[in-house]
């Protein structure tokens, strides 16, 4: 079983009727519901949980963490962001959705401000596939049509990704690197731009397909804390590892 933890700040759904109407049980519940299947088990956590529902033990038992946050990034303790960063370095997969670009754990993993240009005008968006052969883009035609989405535009001050899988183009003219892969330590991160809370983006089947594909792609094949071992030569009779 692939073990997924969906984290959501769960704020707009409780404070704005328009958002509650789209995600009555929270964005995390919607994502959990469409991910659950024979080989994916899903837990959820929110800002309301003790320690944000995140401990080292919980992350050790998580293959892929999904993160949605927007207005409450500052309430996530630095220690929680550090736990997520360290878990990715050891091999855990992580998916940061939409405004997760400004979350503490994403910025801790990127090391840059991760800012961008934005506008809430209800532009439509075409999310274009740039690599139709990649596992994350399987099941998607040339593009995903989003009738309405928050506009995100370049320049974005995150590091250049290892691979761009989607480029978004908006009716207002902007373009944006909408689906990006980053390798950090033993782990991989997928950033996916769609998902503004006032639009039903996570109910769109193609968006669900991309997130499901990303979960399967990011499952760790190797997981270990990164250390800096002092070693002997490969053929030393005492062995190449110097035990402490
Ligand atoms: Zn947004």
Lowest mean pLDDT among 10-14, 78-82, 169-173, 226-230: 226-230
Sign of the Cα torsion 83, 80, 100, 44 reads: positive
Q: Would you say residue 135 lies in a domain? A: no
204 occurs within a structural domain = yes
CB 142 within 8 A of CB 178: no
Q: What CATH number is attached to the domain comprising 56?
A: 3.40.50.880
CA 110–ligand 1 middle distance (angstroms): 20
Burial zone of 85 (CB within 10 Å; 0-12 exposed, 13-18 middle, 19+ buried): buried
Residue 96 falls inside a structural domain: yes
Whole-number Å distance between alpha carbons of 111 and 25 = 33
How many structural domains compose the chain? 1
Residues 186, 89: contact at Cβ < 8 Å?
yes
Alpha-carbon gap, residue 77 to 52, rounded angstroms = 8
Give me the mean pLDDT over the 110-117 stretch: 97
Domain that holds residue 109: 2-114+179-217
Residue 88 lies in a domain: yes
Q: Helix (H, G, I), strand (E, B), or coil: what is residue 184?
A: strand
Q: From CA 106, how far away is CA 66, in angstroms rounded?
A: 11
Q: How far is the CA of 87 from the centre of ligand 1 (A)?
A: 26
At residue 243, the pLDDT reads 72
φ, ψ dihedrals at 65, nearest 5°: -100, 135
| 111 pLDDT higher than 90 | yes
- What are 150's two structure tokens? 């928050």
Q: How many helices (DSSP H) and strands (DSSP E) are in the chain?
A: 7, 11
Distance (Å) from CA 195 to ligand 1 centroid: 7
Ligand 1 centroid, distance to 196 Cα (angstroms): 4
Reported as a single tens digit per residue, the pLDDT across 146-157 is 999 999 999 999
**Digit-coded pLDDT (tens) for 177-194:** 999 999 999 999 999 999
Residue 244, pLDDT score:
62
How far, in Å, is the centroid of ligand 1 from the Cα of 141?
25
Q: Which residues pair with 167 in a beta bridge?
A: 128, 177
Confidence of residue 242 (pLDDT cuts 50, 70, 90): confident
User: pLDDT tens for residues 22-38?
Assistant: 999 999 999 999 999 99
Residues whose CB falls within 8 Å of the CB of residue 133, separated by 6 or more in sequence, listed in order:
none
Cα(90) to centroid(ligand 1), Å: 30
Separation CA 132–CA 129 (nearest Å)? 6
DSSP state of 159: P
Domain assignment of residue 145, yes or no: no
Calculate how far, in angstroms, residue 151's C-alpha sits from the geometric centre of ligand 1. Answer: 8
Share of the chain above pLDDT 70, in %: 100
Residue 206 domain flag: yes
224 within domain boundaries: no
- What is the 193 CA–ligand 1 centroid distance (Å)? 9
Q: Ligand 1 mean position to 231 CA, how many Å?
A: 49
Average pLDDT over residues 144-168: 98
Alpha carbon of 146 to ligand 1 centroid (Å) = 14
* Token pair recorded at residue 240: 């190449």
Closest CA to 156 of 147, 168, 145: 168
Cα 215 to averaged position of ligand 1 atoms, centre (Å): 22
The answer to whether residue 124 is domain-embedded is no
CB 215 within 8 A of CB 35: yes
Average pLDDT for the chain: 97
Residue 230 alpha carbon to ligand 1 centre in Å = 47
State the distance from the centre of ligand 1 to the C-alpha of 116, rounded, in angstroms: 12
Distance CA 46, CA 42 (A): 14
Q: What is the mean pLDDT of residues 43-68?
A: 98
- Distance from the CA of 150 to the center of ligand 1, in angstroms? 6
């Amino acid at each position: 079983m692939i073990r997924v933890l969906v984290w959501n700040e769960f704020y707009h759904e409780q404070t704005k009727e328009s958002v509650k109407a789209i995600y009555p049980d929270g964005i995390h519940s919607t994502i959990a519901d469409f991910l659950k299947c024979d080989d994916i088990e899903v837990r959820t956590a929110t800002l309301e949980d003790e320690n944000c529902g995140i401990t080292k033990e919980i992350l050790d038992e998580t293959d892929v963490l999904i993160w949605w946050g927007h207005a409450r990034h500052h309430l996530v303790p630095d220690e929680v962001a550090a736990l997520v960063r360290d878990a990715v370095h050891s091999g855990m997969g992580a998916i940061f959705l939409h405004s997760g670009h400004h979350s503490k754990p994403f910025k801790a993993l990127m090391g840059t401000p991760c800012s961008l240009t934005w506008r809430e005008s209800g532009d439509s968006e075409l999310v274009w596939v740039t690599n139709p052969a990649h596992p994350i883009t399987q099941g998607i035609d040339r593009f995903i049509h989003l009738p309405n989405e928050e506009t995100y535009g370049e320049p974005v001050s995150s590091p250049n990704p290892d691979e761009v899988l989607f480029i978004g183009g908006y009716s207002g003219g902007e373009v944006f690197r909408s689906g990006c892969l980053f390798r950090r330590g033993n782990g991989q991160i997928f950033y996916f731009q769609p998902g503004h809370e006032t639009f039903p983006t996570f109910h769109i089947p193609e968006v669900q397909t991309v997130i499901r594909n990303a979960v399967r792609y990011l499952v760790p094949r190797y997981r270990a804390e990164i250390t800096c071992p002092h070693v002997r030569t490969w053929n030393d009779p005492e062995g190449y590892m110097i035990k402490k």
